[in-house]
Amino acid sequence: MGPAHLLPTHSTQIFRRCKGLTSFRLYIRHYATQPESAALQRKKVWASADAAVQDVKSGDIVLSGGFGLCGTPETLITALSRRNDVHSLTAVSNNAGSSDLGLVKLMKSGQLDKLIISYLGGNKYLERMYLDGKMSLELVPQGTLVERMRAHGAGIPAFFTPTGASTTVETGGIPIRFKAGGFKEGILIPGNKKEYREFNGKRYIMEPAIAGDVAFIHAWKADEAGNLMFRHVANNYNNAMARNAQLVIAEAEEIVPIGSLPPNAVHVPGIFVDRVVQATEPKGFDIIATAPPPGTTGGSSPEELLEKSTRRRIAKRAAQELRDGFYVNLGVGIPTLVTEYLRPGVKIWLQSENGILGMGPFPTEDQVDPDITNAGKETVTLLPGASIFDSTDSFGMIRGGHMDVAILGAMQVSQAGNIANFMIPGKLHHICTWTHVTPPGIGGAMDLVSNPEKTKVIVAMEHCAKDGGPKIMQECSLPLTGARAVSQIITELAVFNVDRSGGFLTLMEVAKGVTVEEVQAKTACDFKVSDNLGQM
């Protein structure tokens, strides 16, 4: 009988010890095994979302996946909103939904007491509740938020990050709750001040992990063992949240038998998931942005629009900083126009914070997909060679300095490269006369400027505010997004290089017809003039 006949039919491990070249001994170790039917004894598939959320208690911390409405566990949120006995909840999410979708349902039902989020989106209801002192709100940088949840799931109580160092995130300058009557009455709960340390000469702040009691997850497919697959950008926060909470409930668009999901395709192993229910609520869109059908004619070309648009002239100049093959993140506002003015032969890889590398243009109407959206919540497409990943990986590549360039808008920039682009005190949504750039909340901006040693940060903005006031300052008067982060400033009047260590600006170029004296009159700080001053 040969060695093959000695092997049992289940679970053996073979060790061979060779002596010389011609002889060996065969050691066989037997492991206890269970019948295949035993895998189903721990039932994870529940009959309904209403039944699955019955163990949620008042005062729980509820993690809710999604980025905008992409990947939002709408079925589970709707079921929880019917639980009138549950109140005083803390919800953790990237944003709080919009219109009547997402976590807005729990706000309007009076079940939420506090939100820990990064981004308000167009949520006017939440903004009013917070500013009136009726809701606690902890604003957290986007990458820090997902890392705080990932950390707890991995057994890490806290970590140090450069994101938010030397800003109101470090000092606790953003109040968590105002007194009854609103922000004019004063602060009831101040922001959380963070410990800081320096590593290799750079400042970092300590962020505590977030521990969830319950996590609501939206998956594309789930099997009866709890293994989950996500579709496209719906991976986002869902992945990290599924690994965090004591009770993880996943709603799935499709529930399949064990063995149906290829092991290599599983995003979340079943060990993390406690309950699975069928998703029944339709997927929502934040913004359906579309391109005209192929072959459509009419309208002005990007070059024709240059003469009419200051913003486009800024974008065209910023595009000259990009080289073929660069990995680039473009902020909202003027930066979104940059791709229309890339030099011939230059192709770049666009990264979107919600988990895309290789983002393409807007889809045609027949290509619109609720699971393929950008960080601005708009529908987009994927280019050949694109990749999709969760928010942990997305901000790891940002914070780790793997991006070549980040181009952002700003409300103010200082001569040392400090940037302010996320908040005007008392105006969370920033709809004001200051700027076209209206980022509602911290979002991913603090992460994008956290590693300027490796990622070049360019600010593309109009030189002055609408009231004529300067936006390039000796010191920023608005809360900082990042300190000594900006390497270059591009406006319709001029291009400045920033010496971040020395704390001064050098004027490198002026626009056609613009004098150095005009730039000086509209800039609220001193600057040097390059010996080789050029024309934009």
Q: Which sequence positions are flagged as catalytic?
A: 353
> Could you count the other beta carbons within 10 Å of the beta carbon of residue 235?
30
DSSP label at residue 354: T
H or E segment at 241?
A: helix 238-242
- What's the per-residue H, E or C state across 176-205? CEECCCCHHHCEEECCCCCCEEEECCEEEE
Helices (H), 460-515: none
β strands within 31-155, DSSP E: 61-64, 89-92, 112-117, 136-139
Round the CA-based radius of gyration of the chain to a whole number and report it: 26
Burial label for 513, CB within 10 Å (0-12, 13-18, 19+), is: exposed
Residue 99 CA to residue 306 CA, distance in Å, equals: 35
Angle at CA 457, nearest 5°, toward 453 and 462?
155
Contact 479, 455 (CB under 8 A): no
CA 368 to chain centre: 21
With vertex at residue 88, the alpha carbon angle to CA 82 and CA 94, rounded to the nearest 5 degrees, is: 85
Please give the C-alpha separations between residue 113 and each of 138, 366, 430, in angstroms, as whole numbers.
11, 41, 24
